[in-house]
Amino acid sequence: MSLISYTVVFLIIWMILFFISLPIGVNVSEYHEEGFANSAPDKTNLKIKVFVSFIISFIPATLIYWVVEKELLIKYFL
């Protein structure tokens, strides 16, 4: 598995985790400002969600890299 393959796997896992974490902890304000949607959140904490999903996605991406490099699944598919 090359560095490009690892990066692609990592980014796919990161995007899945990031989109899963988007609705977590979002509070909708009771007082709506003029010009904003009624469902607009007060605070989204996007920096924290990006960082946490970035850190967590290292674990499965590295595990997939290790399985591919050690060729652990080849005997099951042959």
Residue range 11-46, pLDDT digits in tens? 999 999 999 999 998 888 788 878 888 888 888 899
With 0.75 as the threshold, say if the pTM is over it: yes
Distance CA 40, CA 59 (A): 33
> Tokens 């304000």 sit at which residue?
29
Domain total in the chain = 1
Residue 60 lies in a domain: yes
Residue 29 lies in a domain: no
Residue 31 lies in a domain: no
Residue 12 lies in a domain: yes
Residue 61 lies in a domain: yes
Note down the domain range covering 11. 3-24+41-77
